[in-house]
Structure 1
Amino acid sequence: MEFRILGPVQIYDERSNVRIVPTGAKQRALLGALVVKAGQVVSADRLVDELWGEHPPANAANALQAHVARLRRLLPVSAPGSGEAHHEWLVTRPLGYVLRLGRSRTDAERFRLLTAEGSALAATDPARSADVLREALALWRGPALEGSEHGTICSAEASLLEEGRLVTLETLFEVCLRAGRFGEITGELEELTIRHPLRERFYELLMTALYRSGRQAEALGVYDRARRRLVYDLGLEPGPVLRGRMEAILHHHDPDAVREARSAAEPAADAGRSPWGSGPGLDVLDAVDAGGLPGADAGEAGVRLLREEIVRLRRHVERLSREQRELVSRFDRLTTARAAGL
């Protein structure tokens, strides 16, 4: 048996491959709250509040008992592998009710275990870590406790689970970058920046993936889009981490990529190749930015083109800075006008 809350609330019976789905919002809310608090006594008063909020029926205690009785009829007769002729899932206690899982589990528990396993592999085996984290994320069938998240128990748990999902996504894309899977994650990250436009970490990961795929101009464009969205919605500039990533990309300096490339112990023949794709290595880019070039093989034409690119990108950043100052000035004028009642 698996009690599932990573999506609409349901029970999955592995023996018969049957999904048990409660009918009605109150039944879903009741099962969801009991699964969240599995193994703990949940008071009748708290369950009444979970199901009806500030508008309970006149006979709330009897109404709750009726919903509990219907839920009991949904649950299987015995727990798989329990060795018992009968397993009482939903038990009445003097102060309320408790859902006993026995040897069964929840999909949220599986998600946390897989996430922990994948995170532990991140440093030593990023490719395997990514596979495990994707397995964890595949457990999600929709928003956590979908259709049951109106009460305080389910809404609080849904928020925690959603934050855990987003953090797991961030960890997944971090290890994908370590594993050199730059191109395959840009589409997913692009979609996440649209769904979560105020979460700076997704912008940073997308910028890094684009840059390491040899798409520097697009990476800087992502920063521009993030900055405009943050200023417009929050009146805030990007944080130091996102700004630092932009500056690193602008100056062709990605210490994380250098460290990962070295730890991968690539063949000596590839030592002069940039970890972001084709083109000059980091030593060439850094030397050009400083006004020199180690060795004489690069050629004056290549040096000139690289210098022109650096100048163009710096002008782009200067233009962005001017736009930023104009936006801040405009915001200040609007704030002053509103305060004056204009």
Structure 2
Amino acid sequence: MRYELLGPLRVSDGRESHFLSAPKMETTLAILLVRAEWVTTKEQLITELWGESPPQRASAALHVYISQLRKFLAAAGHGDGEAIVTRSSGYVLRLRDAEYDVADFQRAVGHGRLFLQAGRYEEALAQFEEALRLVRGPVLDQLPEGPVLAAFAAWAEEERLDCLELSIEARTALGRHREVIGPLNGLITQHPLRESFYRQLMLALYRSERQADALQVYRTAQQVLQAELGVQPCPALRRLHHAILTSDALLDLRAAS
């Protein structure tokens, strides 16, 4: 049994994937998954499902959704209708021995960070790539986003971007800087205020014998940040700019031999 939330919500039993066609039931399962092993109150569920204007019979409708979800999960192979436990204030989704892509993602990123800190860059990169493969598309795409789901979607996107940064760092440490130039240009277009991507692109260009292009990236970052936020680049970006201007030998320490 496996739950997958990093993309369109789906449940698989090892042989086939199971999808919910009813949006309200899909939203209910998503909320319970986000808060797996914790009590999700009835009030939280109602707010996520209907916002600030729930129908008069919202509690009754919620009861029906929970009942149908229990049947759905039992048919998909998760327990005998016991995956969702009722508590006095709400409901708890028990994962038990079920796999969960969010947990797998966090585990892979955690291992990757440890390998990166230890200078084991090939192993770090393998872990980051494994984590990124788990992200199948926009998280909770087309589902209504109340406070719980909106917070989870924002967290998942931030974690994905952090993982991308770490994978690029590992590639650069391996001397594979030319590989990251194209992807970084795309990432900067999508996230023009994320200074770490400018920093990584500047270093990759410099190590690819493109010093002038690296300096142009800094000027672009400077212009964008000033226009959008009225600020100058962060200290790390400014230090790298100075190091590139002076051809600091420290920039070459981790280049491929």
TM-score category of the 2 structures, normalised to the smaller one: over 0.9
1:50 aligns with 2:48: yes
Deviations 1:77-108 (A, max 9, x none): 4757xxx7x36112222221111111012101
Q: Which residue matches 1:29?
A: 27
1:41 aligns with 2:71: no
Give secondary structure in 2 for the equivalent of 1:54.
coil
Q: Relative contact order, CA 8 A, sep 6+: which one is greater? A: 2
**CA RMSD in angstroms, aligned pairs only:** 1.8
Counterpart CA distance in 1 for 2:133 and 2:76 is 28
Q: Which residue matches 1:88?
A: 82
Give secondary structure in 1 for the equivalent of 2:74.
coil
Q: Which residue matches 1:332?
A: none
Shift of 1:257: 2.6
Counterpart CA distance in 1 for 2:41 and 2:84 is 13
Counterpart CA distance in 2 for 1:247 and 1:28 is 52
Counterpart CA distance in 1 for 2:139 and 2:251 is 34
Shift of 1:149: 5.3
CA contact (8 A) 1:28 1:147 kept: no
Q: Which residue matches 1:106?
A: 100
Q: How does 1:245-260 map to 2 (within 5 A)?
A: 245-258=240-253, 260=254
Query: Which amino acid is 1:195 matched to?
Result: Q
* Cα gap change, 1:177 to 1:33, in 2 (>3 Å): same
Give secondary structure in 2 for the equivalent of 1:76.
helix
Larger radius of gyration: 1
Query: Which amino acid is 2:115 matched to?
Result: L
CA contact (8 A) 1:183 1:209 kept: yes
CA contact (8 A) 1:2 1:105 kept: yes
Counterpart CA distance in 2 for 1:13 and 1:40 is 23
Residue of 68, 71, 74 corresponding to 1:70: 68
Shift of 1:256: 4.3
CA contact (8 A) 1:79 1:103 kept: no
Deviations 1:291-328 (A, max 9, x none): xxxxxxxxxxxxxxxxxxxxxxxxxxxxxxxxxxxxxx
* Cα gap change, 1:105 to 1:99, in 2 (>3 Å): same
Q: After TM superposition, which residue ranges in structure 1, 4 or more long, deviate above 3 angstroms?
A: 76-80
Give secondary structure in 2 for the equivalent of 1:75.
helix
Gaps of 5+ in 2: none
1:200 aligns with 2:198: no
The aligned length equals 256
Deviations 1:122-146 (A, max 9, x none): 1332122112211111100112222
Give secondary structure in 1 for the equivalent of 2:20.
coil
1:135 aligns with 2:130: yes
Counterpart CA distance in 1 for 2:48 and 2:201 is 40
Give secondary structure in 2 for the equivalent of 1:11.
strand
Shift of 1:110: 0.2
Q: Which residue matches 1:155?
A: 150
Gaps of 5+ in 1: 267-342
Counterpart CA distance in 2 for 1:79 and 1:68 is 16
Q: How does 1:204-243 map to 2 (within 5 A)?
A: 204-243=199-238
Q: Which residue matches 2:161?
A: 166
CA contact (8 A) 1:41 1:98 kept: yes
Deviations 1:267-291 (A, max 9, x none): xxxxxxxxxxxxxxxxxxxxxxxxx
Shift of 1:116: 0.8
Shift of 1:148: 3.0
Scaled by the length of structure 1, the TM-score of the pair is 0.71
Query: Which amino acid is 1:7 matched to?
Result: G
Give secondary structure in 2 for the equivalent of 1:28.
helix
Counterpart CA distance in 1 for 2:77 and 2:45 is 25
Q: Percent identity?
A: 38
Query: Which amino acid is 2:143 matched to?
Result: S
CA contact (8 A) 2:13 2:76 kept: no
